[in-house]
Amino acid sequence: MQEPILGLSTKEVMEHRKTEDEGNLRSSITKTNTQIVKENIFTLFNLLNFIIAALLLGVGAYSNLLFIAIIILNISIGIAQELKAKKMVDNLSILNRPHVTVLRDGKELLVETEEIVKDDVMVLDSGKQICNDAVVLRGSLEVNESLLTGESDAVIKEEGDELYSGSFVISGRCYAKVIHVGSENYATKLADDVKKEKQVHSELLGAMKKVTRFTSFLIVPLGILLFIEAMLLRHMTFADSIITSSAALLGMLPKGLVLLISVSLATGVIRLAKMKILVQNIYSLETLAHVDVLCLDKTGTITDGKMKVKTVIPMTKLPKEETDKLIQSYLAACNDNNATFQALEEEFSAKAIYSPVDRISFSSHRKWGAISFSDMGTVFVGAPERMMKQLPRDVEEQMEAGYRVVVIGYCKRMWNNENELPEDIHPMYIAILTDTIRKNTRQTLEYFRNEGVDVKVISGDHLKTVSIIAKKAGLERWNDAIDLSTVGEDVNYDKICKEYAVFARVTPKQKQQLVQALKRQGHHVAMTGDGVNDLLALREADCSIAVAEGSDASRQISQIVLLNSDFTHLPQVVLEGRKVVNNVTRTAGVFFIKTIYSILVSLFCILLNIPFPFIPIQITLIDAFIEAAPSFLTIFESNTRRIHGGFLKKVLGNAAPFALSITIMIVIVSLTTPFDANQNQTIMYLLLMMTSMVAVVKSCIPFTKLRVFTCATMILGAFGALAVLPSLFEVCTVTFNMLGYLTIALAGMVILTSIFMKLKKIQIIRIR
């Protein structure tokens, strides 16, 4: 008789807390407040802007320093919005935090991970995350260490074996003594590349990095050349040289665009948090918006995961009293706690009548488990195709109706070979289980179908069960189904991904390979899951989604967690992501107009040795009224259209016609106008403003009340500022002759822009 394990006493726990360091502190999934402040302040764009501001301050060009107020406002808004999102996500993530069952004073207690101390005894079973390094005291486990080692094969852990934090329990049950906490844990000591943590791809972030690198590469040499020409070749004063050069450099920096992206994403995360949807990485919102294939696990996702025994069919001549004792003993001794075993326990109840001597835990790979009892033989529980060669017709009909089938078998021998079943196994009972489809599932699948998202159902269940559940859920291709247990080792996953929509009897490794095949075909893949058997596929997917009722493991590694455990809320996540991407794409083109023409006009000025035609305060007015205000007024619109094309290519394509026409007209005006320098500058500046406004108006089509208000505010604000403070912006009164020239130039600008836009459309058609 083994001595009972009592765990630490309350007094011992208090003593450990006094002597141990604070290494076991709770880690946040979000950035710290300090990180948020640093990342918003210490950027390359900000550095360049502050250098330009310092140069202008040094030469006393105080009126041209107004742009720095916009930079400071951008920083403040970005910090405030990210801090607000962080607070909501941190509060919500408390619901998602893993808890650990420990033995203290001989009783099982559920505690948070940071409350664990050395020598605590953890109670671990299927689906649990191992949060601390430990040694198995009693029992055995199958453990997945793929997040640490990259190897997906299950590892058997028995008495005396060490368990590593960061791994997950596949099956079994054990008591394990904690040997490390906090920073001493193995997972904490691993480098990021060893952990093989998944990096979320963000097209928006990647595009901004490319723009940052490109502009940073150009801005320094162009700035130096503009300044040297002004000082040495045109003999301008030092102050005037700084001012004209600074205007060109300020125009190259799309200052508000980074803020626009971060605020849009943070706002989407906040809205989802209010709906109990936890976004564990802010860029996951963008990723899901691009998804065109959604892989759904059946149990716990399409269905609610709460199973109930519908019918029990006897299959043996043994007395019912004897078979029930065997099953009750099995349920009392087994370490499995998934929905199937919970339903069986509710039907038969668990009673420790016979003494177990050997145990093989149920696993999704074997699809069966077994327990041997002293002098009584072995009881098996498993999938029907593993346990029986031929099922009764009425049982097959139940499976065809979508019910799950579990066979409970028996053999008189002791059995400890986990690789195969004995030949003399005999079925005792066939249990028919029901699994309820979640409400609104049909509408959800119809939504994804209408939005061009291909839905795949991937499950470890029997082929008929999965396909019928898919049919009931409203999947159009429910009959395009394949049993992956019958395909052998040499599988063409690329082929079957195209041919089938329902995949049954899928192992965890096969789930991963299906996702990999879909990604090879150029798809953006989202994967939902709730169990340890979904881990590999969740890690592989572009966007991983877990339900709160699922295992600790699936929740901790997923980018999005549905805290109400209802996948029918997924369309809302997609819609939020689309709002962000569509609104940023629509407005970003306006920011890039200034970047493109500033570079091109700077090159023109260097070649002809003429000053850049604008000054910093003029660029600031465009930044405030034509770029920033319209973008932020319309960024919260509900634009949920399907996303097509790449972000950077699309916005540069939208900006290029306007930027090129502005550049050409500035060149023409610079070379042909009969007016003085101040009048020339005024004409070019008005042309620049009006063309930029046309770009904003075009981006607002089709008009809404908000967009009409935005355009009116932009026009009245920008021209109102020029009318009230003409000397500040260094514009002169427009004469009749200037107005005529301006009208002709503006008409030419419109014609050029139209030509460039038509050429762009022709190019797109050719590419397609």
Catalytic residue annotation: 297
Q: What is the 3-state secondary structure (H, E, C) of 279-328?
A: ECCCCHHHHHHCCCEEEEEHHHHHEEEEEEEEEEEECCCCCHHHHHHHHH
CA atoms lying within 13 Å on the CB side of residue 517: 18
Cβ-count burial of 546 within 10 angstroms (0-12 exposed, 13-18 middle, 19+ buried)? buried
Cβ-count burial of 651 within 10 angstroms (0-12 exposed, 13-18 middle, 19+ buried)? buried
Phi-psi sector, 155: left (phi>0), alpha (psi -120 to 50), beta:
beta
The Cα–Cα gap between 122 and 578 comes to: 43
502-504 β-sheet, strand order: 277-279, 560-562, 543-547, 525-529, 293-297, 454-458, 502-504, 481-483
The Cα–Cα gap between 139 and 123 comes to: 10
The Cα–Cα gap between 689 and 670 comes to: 17
Q: Which long-range contacts (CB under 8 A, 24 or more apart) does 226-234 make?
A: 226/602, 226/605, 226/606, 226/612, 229/605, 229/606, 229/609, 230/611, 233/609, 234/609, 234/610, 234/611
Answer yes or no: are the C-beta atoms of 221 and 252 closer than 8 Å.
no
Answer yes or no: are the C-beta atoms of 530 and 275 closer than 8 Å.
no
Strands 454-458 and 356-360: unpaired
- Eight-class DSSP state of 375: T
The Cα–Cα gap between 768 and 501 comes to: 28
What Cα–Cα distance (Å) separates residue 92 from each residue in 55, 80, 538?
46, 19, 21
Answer yes or no: are the C-beta atoms of 312 and 429 closer than 8 Å.
yes
In one letter, which amino acid is 221?
A: P
Question: 646 by DSSP, 3-state: which?
Answer: coil
Question: 495 by DSSP, 3-state: which?
Answer: helix
Compute the Cα dihedral for 238, 241, 245, 250 and give only its sign: positive
Quick one: which H or E segment has residue 436?
strand 426-437
Quick one: which H or E segment has residue 228?
helix 203-228
The Cα–Cα gap between 269 and 286 comes to: 10
Quick one: which H or E segment has residue 92?
helix 67-93
The encoded tokens of residue 187 equal: 């997972």
What Cα–Cα distance (Å) separates residue 497 from each residue in 387, 467, 491, 510, 537?
29, 16, 11, 12, 14
Enumerate the H helices of 673-704 as residue ranges.
677-699
